[in-house]
């Protein structure tokens, strides 16, 4: 599993924008920026839709006031699902990025296999990234939701 002080792995994350599909290279996307990235097991799932994403939507301005250039939500879903989920949650200030094949999630060592429920998904976590290097990593214990909450990350900034 990736650790604090390590650079993010090379990977591609997808985003469906008004101009079409954009494939972001992780190394370029996070270069020269302070980023808060949080990951969820699945778009439109209960804790993710009722608490995790809404917390970051609500606190986006306060997080950005702390010098954060970009807030990113990642899930092992496709870019179409991430766009629809972001729109349904009024997440216009958050980059809703898809890790469709879980390659980014696997490279981080933060995957989990939910078997027939949904296959390979991301663990729930949040990280603060400075110029492509993880400066803070909060991974949730199974069935927990505290370490990766927007309020917890805001306090860490």
Among all residues, which ones are annotated catalytic?
48
Q: State the virtual CA torsion across 113, 118, 123, 127 in degrees, nearest 10.
A: 140
d(CA 3, CA 30): 17
- Measure the CA–CA gap between 69 and 80, rounded to whole angstroms: 24
Alpha carbon of residue 79 to chain centroid: 13
Q: What is the CA radius of gyration of the chain?
A: 14
CA–CA gap between residue 122 and residue 119 (Å, rounded): 10
């Amino acid at each position: 599993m990736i650790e604090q002080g390590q650079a993010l792995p090379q990977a591609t994350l997808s985003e469906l924008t008004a101009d079409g599909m954009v494939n972001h290279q992780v190394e370029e996307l996070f270069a020269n920026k302070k980023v808060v990235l949080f990951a969820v097991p699945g778009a439109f799932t209960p804790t993710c839709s009722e608490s995790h994403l809404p917390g970051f939507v609500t606190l986006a301005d306060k997080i950005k006031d702390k010098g954060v250039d970009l807030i990113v939500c990642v899930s092992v879903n496709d870019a179409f699902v991430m766009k629809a989920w972001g729109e349904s949650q009024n997440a216009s200030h958050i980059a809703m990025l898809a890790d469709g094949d879980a390659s980014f999630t696997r490279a981080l060592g933060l995957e989990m296999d939910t078997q027939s429920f949904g296959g390979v998904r991301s663990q729930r976590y949040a990280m603060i990234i400075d110029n492509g290097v993880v400066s803070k990593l909060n991974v949730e214990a199974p069935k927990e939701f505290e370490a990766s909450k927007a309020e917890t990350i805001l306090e860490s900034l």
